[in-house]
């Protein structure tokens, strides 16, 4: 049995859900939410903090500061509490209430940005706030998940090799695109692997990551209002954009079969179903990465009034995902 002394020491890395019986397409979902942070972000958080400690950037008097839409903030809160660091998370008004309360319960300080930057959106405004904090006090240490190579390295060393071990005949991997750390780490690993694997990035409609037009995005996690510095599109074979109403449908369809996943996972699953439905019945070994679980989305994705107000009655439809994807 596993026995740990620090919360970041535990992470279930080999759990998959076979979704074919639920969604009608052959797809294995790699569940990354079974750790004390509840998301895949525990890997990047641990890697970045360990590197900052090795480089002498973090000292006992340091205050960690980071911009996060939620999941990384929780992961950093957990590790900061474990190691005795103070942590300040800069988030925005789209961050789920449960996420903010969790960070506060772990002893973190929260700054909520309520007005987006005219050009850079909420992300740009959050980063400007982080830079102002760092300029005001040299105790602040910004790990900068958006431009920190350790973000991707965590997945090059852990996530991708774990998938390769379980699926030696892997044909296609679906990865959500936020900071693109997970995407780049996995894509670089499989570019060097012994057989070709098609890497498909899944992004949100309204995100500018892959050159799309900026638009309203209310579900935190995936998508950006500024192009991520970590992104190298030469490693990405295809991109699927998912409307947030389809994210909601995917989450609720999975919940209807007992699997409560988060918004980022719903986006990845919806995008994977869309892509697979267009492959003319080719039999592929496909894996999608599920970044998070659903408890933090109970007041949003799983709350009928919230969904209806933002996306209309149709977003509550139980329409099968494969059919919805083909009609898109």
What is the reported pLDDT for 324? 42
Contact at 8 Å (CB) between 322 and 249?
A: no
Closest to 296 measured CA to CA, from 257, 266, 256, 270: 266
Contact at 8 Å (CB) between 19 and 287?
A: no
My answer on whether 208 and 91 are in the same domain is: no
Beta pairing, strands 16-18 & 28-31: antiparallel
Beta pairing, strands 140-142 & 109-113: unpaired
pLDDT: which is higher, 172 or 316: 172
What is the reported pLDDT for 318? 59
Q: Is residue 36 part of a domain?
A: no
Domain CATH code at residue 159: 3.40.50.1100
User: Which of 108, 142, 176 represents a domain boundary (last residue)?
Assistant: 142
Q: How far is CA 37 from the centre of its chain?
A: 12
pLDDT in tens, 132-180: 999 999 999 999 999 999 999 999 999 999 999 999 999 999 999 999 9
Q: Is residue 148 part of a domain?
A: no
Q: Which of 88-92, 234-238, 280-284 has the lowest mean pLDDT?
A: 280-284
pLDDT mean over 12-37: 95
Number of domains in the chain: 2
DSSP-assigned beta bridge partners for residue 111: 90
My answer on whether 246 and 303 are in the same domain is: yes
Closest to 290 measured CA to CA, from 146, 172, 173, 149: 173
The radius of gyration of the chain's CA atoms, rounded to the nearest angstrom, is: 19
Sheet holding 86-92, edge to edge: 109-113, 86-92, 63-67, 140-142
Cα(147)–Cα(66) distance, integer angstroms: 12
Contact at 8 Å (CB) between 195 and 304?
A: no
My answer on whether 171 and 72 are in the same domain is: no
My answer on whether 21 and 133 are in the same domain is: no
Cα(209)–Cα(243) distance, integer angstroms: 15
Domain that holds residue 101: 41-142
For the entire predicted model, the pTM comes to: 0.92
What is the reported pLDDT for 326? 41
- Dihedral angle over CA of 151, 186, 37, 131, nearest 10: 20
My answer on whether 27 and 45 are in the same domain is: no
What is the reported pLDDT for 320? 55
Position of tokens 């439905």? 277
User: Which of 121, 142, 163 represents a domain boundary (last residue)?
Assistant: 142
Cα(313)–Cα(318) distance, integer angstroms: 11
Q: How far is CA 81 from the centre of its chain?
A: 22
What is the reported pLDDT for 169? 96
My answer on whether 165 and 285 are in the same domain is: yes
What is the reported pLDDT for 316? 87
């Amino acid at each position: 049995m596993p026995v740990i002394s620090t919360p970041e020491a535990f992470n279930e890395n080999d759990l998959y859900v076979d979704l074919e019986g639920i969604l009608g397409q052959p797809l294995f979902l790699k569940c990354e939410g079974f750790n004390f942070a509840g998301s895949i972000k525990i890997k990047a958080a641990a890697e970045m903090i360990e590197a900052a400690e090795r480089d002498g950037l973090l000292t006992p008097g340091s205050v960690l500061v980071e911009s996060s839409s939620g999941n990384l903030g929780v992961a950093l809160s957990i590790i900061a509490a474990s190691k005795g660091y103070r942590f300040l998370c800069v988030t925005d008004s789209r961050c789920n209430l449960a996420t903010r309360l969790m960070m506060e319960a772990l002893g973190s300080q929260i700054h909520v940005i309520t007005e987006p930057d005219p050009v850079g959106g909420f992300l740009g405004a959050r980063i400007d706030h982080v830079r102002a904090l760092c300029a005001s006090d040299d105790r602040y240490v910004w790990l900068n998940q958006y431009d920190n190579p350790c973000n991707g390295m965590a997945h090059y060393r852990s996530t991708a090799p774990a998938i390769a071990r379980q699926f030696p005949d892997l044909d296609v991997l679906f990865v959500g695109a936020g900071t693109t750390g997970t995407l780049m780490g996995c894509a670089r690993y499989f570019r060097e692997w012994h057989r070709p694997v098609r890497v498909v990035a899944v992004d949100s409609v309204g995100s500018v990551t892959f050159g799309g037009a900026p638009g309203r995005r209310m579900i935190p996690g995936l998508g950006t209002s500024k192009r991520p510095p970590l992104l190298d599109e030469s490693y990405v074979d295809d991109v699927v954009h998912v409307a947030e109403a389809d994210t909601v449908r995917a989450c609720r369809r999975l919940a209807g079969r007992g699997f409560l996943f988060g918004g980022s996972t719903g986006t990845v699953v919806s995008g994977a179903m869309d892509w697979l439905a267009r492959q003319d019945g080719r039999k592929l070994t496909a894996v999608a990465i599920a970044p998070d679980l659903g408890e933090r989305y109970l007041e949003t994705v799983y709350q009928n009034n919230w969904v209806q107000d933002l996306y209309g009655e149709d977003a509550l439809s139980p329409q099968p995902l494969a059919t919805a994807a083909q009609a898109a």
